[in-house]
Structure 1
């Protein structure tokens, strides 16, 4: 079995979920935005070229700003500031009060 070096999809998912406007990750249509690991599927993150992220965000901030911030966070985790990251806002929700 080959050992993975560097951050994986679960590390990217954790970083994305730390953004205050991100409510959750989303698999997109038919769950197609996902990474597959042994015994685990990480919805909302697909590592590749480009990296794909799908999120549900809270109302209140412009989606473009949120997407730019999420993409910058993903680049930081993966250690490549030139990496293409596509962020899709799959849905919008309200934060529970």
Structure 2
């Protein structure tokens, strides 16, 4: 089975493929993140340990009702990881894709 950073990257790619997702976000205080080799973080996806839920924080495009979008994103995550609980934080809603949409997960080094 792939390790957590690989699985988090797979989840990030699948979530970003959803047409209503503009980008991933770190959520409140940047806490929705997975740690990767080289002290890098993948913002927007946190895979919990044990029975903790997978957490997503996303910026969405205006359109789909948020409860419906949360269900769709849960299904996307379960398509990658199997039957897991999923919590979604909608960090912002935008009317059009921004330049940050091309940066999956907002990788950046920790301070």
- Aligned match of 1:58: 61
Unmatched 5+ residue regions in structure 2? Answer: 98-111
Once the two structures are superposed, the pairs formed by residues 10-89 of structure 1 within 5 Å of their partners are 10-39=9-38, 40-48=40-48, 49-80=52-83, 83-89=84-90
Cα RMSD, aligned residues only: 1.6
Which is bigger in relative contact order (C-alpha 8 A, separation at least 6)? 2
Task: Output one character per residue of 1:20-63: Cα deviation in whole Å (capped at 9) or x when no partner.
Answer: 10000010122110000112311000001111001000111101
In the other structure, the counterpart of 2:91 is 90
| The structure with more helix, counted as a fraction of residues | 2
Gaps of 5+ in 1: none
Structure 1: which 4+ aligned runs deviate by more than 3 Å? none
TM-score (norm 1): 0.86
- Normalised TM-score (structure 2): 0.76
